[in-house]
Structure 1
Amino acid sequence: MKKKDIIQFGTGNFLRGFSCWMVQQMKDQGFFKGDIFMIQSHGDSVPETYQNQNNQYHVMELGVSKGKEINQISKIDCIKAVINAKNEPERFLKLAENPGLRFVISNTTEAGIFFKQENPNIENVFPVTFPGKLTALLYIRFSFFEGELEKGLIIFPCELIQDNGAELKKIVLKHANSWSLPKTFLDWLDASTLFCNTLVDRIVPGFPKENMDKIRPNLEFEDELLVMTEPYHFWAIEGDEKIKDEFPAEKAGLQVNFVKDLSLYRKRKVRVLNGAHTAMVPMAYLKGLRTVIESIEHQGLGQLISDIIFKEIIPVLGMPEKETEKFALDVIDRFRNPFIRHELLSIALNSISKFKIRVLPSMVEFYQINGFWPPLLCQAMADLLVFYSGMDKEGKKIPLKDDLVVISIFSEAWEADNVYTFLQAVLSQDSLWGEDLSFYASLTDELAEKIDYQSHKSFMKK
């Protein structure tokens, strides 16, 4: 089996509990041969803990899968070295000369993929940004191997921006042009190196310090790098069968899908997982609930959330039903994870813009297909409008976290004398919804039936 090494930009909890864990799974099952060279994106020096632990640590999966509680620990020993590129630029660039190097994985956060003009003298003034460092690495590799096409790389950016691979390639090319690198390098890059769009999904809370006394006896060594994750994981990568063969995650039983078009998977995640989260928040909060697990375990609300997903969101997605329903069942299991306390108010941040992107499209498409509005999602929207009054149904203040302009619009709208005047003031704001929703008279009627406007106004006056 040919050795295929990986450079990973990022030493944070997410990648250590996601991609490093996946590589370890593939290696342990005999499907992959290769090591990871981790590049520290932040900080002035690599923490001594890595050296003290020989770059090894554990990943602990805690949660619920298919209705069963999961509690398992894996040792990660696939990391060859951890390098601080800022302090060790020569050591970092030396990685470009590794003939077995094949992959680059990154998670430098959404703010990491951006263009900043940097000094073009690669060997003497080292680039600061991630795309700059990557461009320098690729150019050194091109030069060292004299443009050999087989020495190109496959790049999997995990940053949560749309078309992350395509965007990263644009910036790398922009750096190459701004540094006046030769056209032969640009041609080599285009012919040999793949920038794959990807979509990642896993909750990685990090180091479980509260429970370390219980966990410690189950570890092979004292571990200050231990990472806790949920059992669920998903990675969609735009790529062909060749990439799938080179990165054999599916053979190892991992939830990694190589697809031709990522857009449907992004749509599924946004509509089902994020959409259910956003719809849940106002409905649950106004019932006095405060966390996701309380909401999904609530006798009435838990079934309602399930019905929203399976009866009103999935039917209008236009995706394979069996696969989407499996994803939805996984989502509900994730909501039930007793080891992760997910506060509703943390999800409530900027709820209006989230609702516009995550929920409203499902509502409009449902209406266009069926000729009537989805009643449960309409209830979620009605509760959202009540939530943005800043007062719950017991007269207690709700700490709204949104743009001051958005909060101001609702504050003024709640001064209206009746529910129809209120709804006209709110629904007509295309700045909130991306369109004038008052155009849909039937939606206004549906929401008016679900808001006890005068009763809530009386709470607000107390």
Structure 2
Amino acid sequence: MQQLKREGPFTHPVKVLQFGEGNFLRAFVDWQIDLLNERTGLDAGVVVVRPRSNPTLPLLDTQGGVFTTLIRGLNEQGEAVKEYRKITCVQREIDLADSYADYLELAASPDLRFVVSNTTEAGIAINDEDAYDDLPPASFPAKLTRFLHERYARFEGAADKGLVLLPCELIDYNGAALKAAVQHFAQLWQLGEGFGNWLDQACTFCSTLVDRIVTGYPQTEIAEIEKELGYRDTFLVTAEYFYLFVIQGPQWLADELKLDGAGLNIQLVADITPYKQRKVGVLNGGHTSLVPVALLAGLKEVGEAVADPVVGQYLLKTLDEEIIPALPLPREELDPFAADVLRRFRNPYIHHRLESIALNSWSKFAARVLPQILTYQKANGHLPKRLVVALAATMLLYRGHLITLADDAANLEWFKMAWARFGERRWSFHDVALNWLANEALWGQDLNHIPGFTAALTDELTRIDLEGITKVIATL
């Protein structure tokens, strides 16, 4: 079968420098750039930089930068859809281990305007060891600082040659974090006040929120997919139908990105905070509330759980009656987002195992669910019963019988101790609830001071243990 290759010359000027060759950026950012090129004439080419050299992995250059995306899931009408697309906006991929000079030369390109990155959550980190003359520096922010200074020098600090930076790492306010990291290396390397002013005044560091499940190379389905395509693609990547790209930045970016008329789910906003709250509360909070209940009910995957008549109804009511009312956003914004989330959970092409989502459950619960419990209680004078059930179910999951638990060592050790004492009849459910709610290191406060919390959690632990989770949630 024929290998996918670029047909004809590369026609777009390089406007985007992309740190990261992985599945996510290719099925998220590159896919959107390709559509913008087609729909609105963005006319942007991409050069990909491999942040960490790996000579065993082939470069995108082996296919002329072209690759295929397979987008599939449930559309707005709830219909299963799938769409193949050849992504042609990538010109080449640079491995800095052997092409560092090419990388620095790109800084002199007058057309370059944007930098995107996804170097994992640990990528935006600083150190005092990277040096200006390293070929290349080790960390991503040091590599970027060296590139930006090269551009500053080549264009003699011209204000119109600044860049727009769109980091996609999954950390809060990633734009501010990246700017601080670049400033660290600028100061460490003593690059001067002029460069510092250019970073402040000519460059725009935007924080972003990115959302799309990218499942990567479909190893088990590739023979059937290649038959449908009629060619072989080493870099084919699959992703869900839903996507969301929120950019906190100035309104003139809409013109530069040619968003008008694109029909893409790219939102340019003044403050990203409400969108983060919405995602954490509805999507992440929905997952975190669903997983322990579904696992105790004997289910294995998210789609299976949402389709279950009892567990699925539990999730719907938890979102509708307890999570959404506790979020500081209008329902007319939250309800459509929740509908999108439920379609994503039902996606027949993604087999998302509940056990994998249950990793580090307690840090997730504290960040994603507890704020809604506290807000709901304060507003209504009583606790949200389904979220309390989710808390009790998570505690019972940590008895360790159903799945392989992976969490902070202190949390695992505490539950090992607590359930041992319970088994020896030295502790009751009340004792387990009382002592876990008192974990200020996790919760940030002693939750026993929240009126009715200790008693409500004790009751739900007792009911689930005696009646089973299915009966408990069916009678809420």
Normalised by the size of structure 2, how large is the TM-score? 0.90
Structure 1 residue runs of 5 or longer lacking an equivalent are: 392-396, 458-462
| Local SS of the residue matching 1:155 | strand
Question: Among 365, 376, 379, which residue is 1:355 paired with?
Answer: 365
Distance, in Å, in 1 between the alignment partners of 2:462 and 2:57 is: 57
Post-superposition shift, 1:119? 5.2
Which of these residues, 347, 364, 370, is aligned with residue 380 of structure 2? 370
CA displacement, residues 393-431 of structure 1 (integer Å, 9 cap, x when unaligned): xxxx44222223212222333324432222212212212
Aligned residue among 56, 67, 75 for 1:65:
75
AA aligned to 2:410 is V
| Paired residue type of 1:309 | L
Tell me which residue corresponds to 1:38. Answer: 48
From 25, 28, 34, give the equivalent of 1:24: 34
Contact 2:291 2:354 (8 Å CA) reproduced? yes
> Which residue in the other structure is 1:345 paired with?
355
Contact persistence 2:73–2:80 (CA under 8 A): yes
Shift in Å, 1:208: 0.6
Point out where structure 2 has 5 or more consecutive residues left out of the alignment. Answer: 1-11, 468-476
CA contact 1:7–1:37 (8 Å) conserved in 2: yes
Q: 1:388 to 1:137 in 2, by over 3 A?
A: same
1:241–1:353 distance in 2 versus 1, CA, 3 Å: same
For 1:331 and 1:245, how far apart are their aligned partners in 2? 30
53-62 or 217-226, larger mean C-alpha shift: 217-226
Change beyond 3 A, Cα 1:263–1:41:
same
Paired residues of 1:31 and 1:252 also in contact (CA < 8 A):
no
Q: State the partner residue of 1:460.
A: none
Q: In the alignment, which residue of structure 2 is the partner of 1:156?
A: 166
2:330 aligned residue: 320
**Equivalent residue, structure 2, for 1:407:** 412
1:285-300 residue pairs with structure 2 within 5 A?
285-300=295-310
2:202 — aligned with what? 192
More deviation in 208-217 or 70-79? 208-217
Q: Tell whether 2:89 aligns with 1:78.
A: yes
- Residue equivalent to 1:115: 126
Residues 44 and 87, structure 1, Cα contact 8 Å, conserved in 2: no
Deviates more, 1:132-141 or 1:410-419: 410-419
Q: Which moved more, 1:276-285 or 1:246-255?
A: 246-255
3-state SS in 1 of match to 2:81? strand
Which of 291, 294, 318 is equivalent to 1:281?
Answer: 291
Aligned twin of 2:470: none
Q: For residue 139 of structure 1, what is the aligned residue in structure 2? A: 149
Aligned partners of 2:59 and 2:93 also within 8 Å: no
CA contact (8 A) 2:355 2:403 kept: no
Shift of 1:48: 4.2
1:434 to 417, 439, 444: 444
1:46–1:82 CA contact under 8 A, matched in 2: no
Q: RMSD in angstroms over aligned alpha carbons?
A: 2.0
Whole-angstrom CA distance in 2 between matches of 1:196 and 1:288: 43
| Displacement of 1:452 | 2.4
Percent of paired sites with the same residue: 37
- Structure 1 residue 51: deviation in Å? 3.0
Q: Distance in 2 between matches of 1:130 and 1:291?
A: 36
Q: Which moved more, 1:28-37 or 1:399-408?
A: 399-408
TM-score by length of 1: 0.93
For the Cα contact (< 8 Å) 2:17–2:49, is it kept in 1? yes
Which amino acid in the other structure matches residue 89 of structure 1? Y
Provide the residue aligned with 1:394 in structure 2: none
State the Cα distance separating 1:49 from its structure 2 match.
5.7
Q: Say yes or no: does 1:102 pair with 2:113.
A: yes
SS in 2 for 1:237: strand
Determine if the alignment matches structure 1 residue 308 to structure 2 residue 318: yes
Deviations 1:204-233 (A, max 9, x none): 110112112221133263211100000110
